[in-house]
Structures are given as C-alpha cells and as structure tokens.
Structure 1
Amino acid sequence: MIKKMSLIMIALLLVVLSACSGSGSSSSEKKKTIVMGTSADYPPFESVDTTNGNKIVGFDVDLAKYIANKLGYNLKIQNQDFNGLIAALNSKKVDFVMAGMVDTPEREKQVDFSHTYYNEYQVVLAKKGAKINTVQDLKGKKVGVQLGSTQEALAVKLNKTIPMKIQRWDKLNEMVEAMNAGKLDAIITIQSVAYGYISKSKDLHQFNALVNGKTEADPISAAFPKGSKLTAQFNKEIAKAKKSGKLDQLVTKWIKNQ
C-alpha cells in the first residue's frame, strides 16, 4: 500500500513539474515576431558583418532591436534589394522597413512613415584622381545610383542641366567596387555612407551634391504598410529614444565613430 501511494505521489509531482515547466516557456513564445525588411549594403545603417557569421549589423539594426524589445516583440531581419522593399511591405512579406529609407511624397502614396530619426545629406563619392570635385564635373561621366533611391531621383534632376550617364545598380557596395575598377566615375549617395567607404580607402573623397546652390537633405524614417498599428508604436519609442539620449548613443556608435 505504501509503495502504491509513493508511486501516486511521484506521478502527481511529475504532472505539477511539467505544468510549471510549460508555463515558464510560454511567456517567451507568446512574444510576437515582427519582420524588418532591409538592404544590408548601406553601412553604417546596415551591412553584413563577414567577420561575425555574416550577421546584419548597423545603426538601423540596433535601433530596430531596441524599439522591438521595448514594445515586447521578437525581431527577425529579412535582407533583400532596396528596390523591392516597398513591394515587400505591401505584399505583407515584412512588417516594416528600416534601410536608410527617406520619407518622400512619392513613397508616402504607397506606405506610412514614422517620424524622422536621422537627417542625412546627399553627396557625390569619387576617386581623388578623377578630377571630379563639383556636380558640374559629372557632365558626361558614368554616375552610379542605387535603384529606387532618392539618389536616383537626384541624378535625374541633375541630368536636366548636367548631362551624365546614369547607371542604376541594386547594391551600393557593388557600385564602389565598380568605381574602383574604373567602370564608374562617381556615385551619388549620402554623407555618412560615403564617409564609411572613405574611412577605409584614402583614394576616395566626397563633396556635397548641390542643386541650385542648395544641399539636398534626406529625412530618414521607418516605413510601414498603410494603416499599420506599428507606426504609432514606433513613433512613441523614437520620441522616447530621443529624449533619453539612446538615439544619440547609437548615432555616436555607428555614424560619428566610423
């Protein structure tokens, strides 16, 4: 009888332990996963760290992880060509996009944007020996731009008064390689991205891409499908990150300390 009672007690104990174990693991499993679309060829905003298991790292990545954690989400990152990111949003393949993307009137027709979290400026990246020091020097030159970017729109605008040979590429790093190989004369990009490449190569330099004497500014934001509840959630956390100094910390880490 005693042996039978012992077996019953052991069985009950195993049931209790199993229930406790199940409840402990369910809390993390209940966290919803949100998918961030990006194009990891745009350092310091996002790039592939080939020395660390090909992880995607950068300013946008750290900010997205910080916000997702604050909102109680798990974060998954999907890497693809920049030109297909808005289509990925609208087909619900990703929940939001952070890819150094600029809030423009044309894009606002297709997606919703968060508040601006960083302001950038358009520049021209060229080799020092190429004698390309102003936008006027781009006349007749082979100029690379990323497909679907604001730099592509800027090149088209400049082309009206400074005829150039615009070449559209999917990835920025491939454009830099092409320029180093003499297949491109210059690249239109943004200041911090250009500086990242210049810091690794003494043969490159940059200058402001002036249009009618003015520097073109780029307000960088996160993009969401129309009507997404994530837009308001991200806006609250971006505002908090600005107030707490967290955003400045990430700017210093990824952009100012290149």
Structure 2
Amino acid sequence: MIRSFARHTMAVLGLVALLSTPFAAAQAQTTADIEKKGTVTIGVLTGIPPYDTVDASGNPDGFIVDLAREAAKALGVQLAVVPVNNASRAAALESGRVDFLIAHMTATPERAKTFLMTNPYGAYEMRFVAAKDMKLTSLDDLKGKRVSVPKGSTQDVAVSGYGIEGLEVVRFDDDALAMQALVSGQVDATAAVAAVANDVITKRSLDNLEVKNDLPIFTLYWSMATRKDATELHQWLNNFIYYAEITGKLDELHKKWIGIPTPGGKLPTF
C-alpha cells in the first residue's frame, strides 16, 4: 500500500513537472523566440515630444520609434509598436504584452529589482519649468508651491524626496499631462526634460514660461528594459546599443528629432 501510494505520488509529481516545463520555457524571452514569431513587440513611451510624435496616419513616430525600427531591423523581423505611458509601461512588460521597453526608463536600483535594465541609449537633463516671473534659484523657492510630475517617474522620486515645507507634488499619468497642468494654471511649476519643455514652449508660443536652469534637478540616462528571465535578449540589446553608438546612429537619430547630439558625451556602461 505504501509503495503504491509512493508510485502514485511520484507519477503526479512527474506530470506536474512535465506540464510546467513548457510553460516555464514559454516565459523565457530570447532573440530566437522573436525571430521565430517574425515580429518584435516594443513598448514605446508617448506624450514626450520631440522624442515622440505621430505621423500623417496618426501612428507613433519620433526618436524612440526610429530606435525601435533599428532594433527590429537588426533582429531581422517586423516591428509592432505598443504605446505606453509612465503608469502603464511596467505592467505592459510584466504581462508579456511587449517583448521589451524603449520607454525612457532610468535604471534605478528599485527598477533593477523587477527588470533587467540595459546600458543607456540616451541622456537627458531634468529641469523645473515655470513662469518667467517666478523666482526659482534655490529649493527654498519651492515652499508652498504645487509642482506637477508624471506618476512614478524619476522626477516624482526626486521632487517628492526634497521634504520642503508646503511643497505639494501633483501626479499625472504622463509628461504631457504634467506639462499641461502648468500651462492651464493648475500648478506653479512642473519637472520636465529640458528638451521636451523647450519644444512645447516654442511650438505653443508659451512666452510666459521658461526652463529654470539655475536650479537643475539632475542629468540622467535612459535605458531599455526586459523581463528578469530575458538574459540573452538583454545582452543582445546591450550589444545593439553599443553598436548604434559607435557607428553614430544614436547621434544621427537624436539630431534628426531633437536637433542636437546625445547630451553628455560617451554613454556609460554598467
């Protein structure tokens, strides 16, 4: 009886292992997986012109989409773009809706607990934007002010961590909504990428606003992100970024859409 029970138990465990193995394998994301299906699905951040825009047909375009096109070309597959914002990009990757993200994510230690973050593909300068007549040369000038940020962004973490008396951080789903809150007078200032803010100010003739360069927030870098088990894809993306930089492709695309080479000189690796 005991031997019969043991044999039955081992059979059940063996069946469980057999059924679970294909599932585990299906979760692994490799370049071979992508080549086999013939399409790479990339989540790209929207709402941050001039880094992104839309073409004549209303489809996403811009620096990030061009970079996604280059990645698909290097993989030898078709490209499927999935627009994401700051609030939805992590879920899109975790759920498997996308193979990886080119979504202007900074490789913070907290994000590295959840995703594999690549070497940076670009750099940006984070600055406050406010009315020209608003003094903003020190953190004390933020006392009693309302500042908009994209929810869960690096500027959200930075501004929320200042601990300034009376400073209210107002969160929105993406950069565009955070900027619009300033334009419409809902907040006193916003924290934004300088190139994005200057683009909005110029295109919309917002002559009353300016980027406050006297109080920089930080200069950081953007990385791509894969799921934790996608180690081979992660390494391939590092190689792709390295090659795009040394061949001048990254600077070429940055100049095309932003008007200047990638800020900060040579990109770091880690």
Normalising by the residue count of structure 2, what TM-score does the alignment of the two structures yield? Answer: 0.76
Residue identity in the other structure for 2:98: V
Which of 104, 109, 120 does residue 108 from structure 2 map onto?
104
- Within 5 A, what are the aligned runs for 1:1-258? 32-49=38-55, 52-158=56-162, 160-161=163-164, 163-200=166-203, 201=205, 202-208=207-213, 210=215, 215-228=217-230, 229-256=232-259
2:105 partner SS: coil
1:34 partner SS: strand
Residue identity in the other structure for 2:251: D
Q: Among the aligned pairs, what percent are the same residue?
A: 34
Structure 1 residues 246 and 156, CA, compared in 2 at 3 Å: closer, same or farther?
A: same
Deviations along 1:216-247, one digit per CA (max 9) or x if unpaired, are 22111111111213212221121111111111
Deviates more, 1:141-150 or 1:246-255: 246-255
Deviations along 1:5-34, one digit per CA (max 9) or x if unpaired, are xxxxxxxxxxxxxxxxxxxxxxxx966211
The two structures, once aligned, show a CA RMSD in angstroms of: 2.2
Residue identity in the other structure for 1:224: T
Tell me, in whole angstroms, the C-alpha distance in 2 between the residues paired with 1:238 and 1:186. Answer: 34
Structure 1 residues 209 and 57, CA, compared in 2 at 3 Å: closer, same or farther?
A: farther
Tell me, in whole angstroms, the C-alpha distance in 1 between the residues paired with 2:140 and 2:54. Answer: 34
Do the aligned residues in 1 keep the contact of 2:149 with 2:172 (CA within 8 Å)? yes
Residue identity in the other structure for 2:43: G
Unaligned segments of structure 1, at least 5 residues: 1-28
Do the aligned residues in 1 keep the contact of 2:123 with 2:219 (CA within 8 Å)? yes
1:183, distance to aligned residue in structure 2 (A):
1.0
1:256, distance to aligned residue in structure 2 (A):
2.4
1:103, distance to aligned residue in structure 2 (A):
0.9
Structure 1 residues 109 and 251, CA, compared in 2 at 3 Å: closer, same or farther?
A: same
Residue identity in the other structure for 1:223: A
Tell me, in whole angstroms, the C-alpha distance in 2 between the residues paired with 1:90 and 1:208. Answer: 37
Residue identity in the other structure for 1:43: P
Deviations along 1:102-161, one digit per CA (max 9) or x if unpaired, are 111110000011111112121001122344454432221110000010010011112x13
Deviates more, 1:115-124 or 1:134-143: 134-143
Do the aligned residues in 2 keep the contact of 1:36 with 1:78 (CA within 8 Å)? yes
1:77, distance to aligned residue in structure 2 (A):
0.9
Structure 1 residues 230 and 208, CA, compared in 2 at 3 Å: closer, same or farther?
A: farther
Normalising by the residue count of structure 1, what TM-score does the alignment of the two structures yield? Answer: 0.79
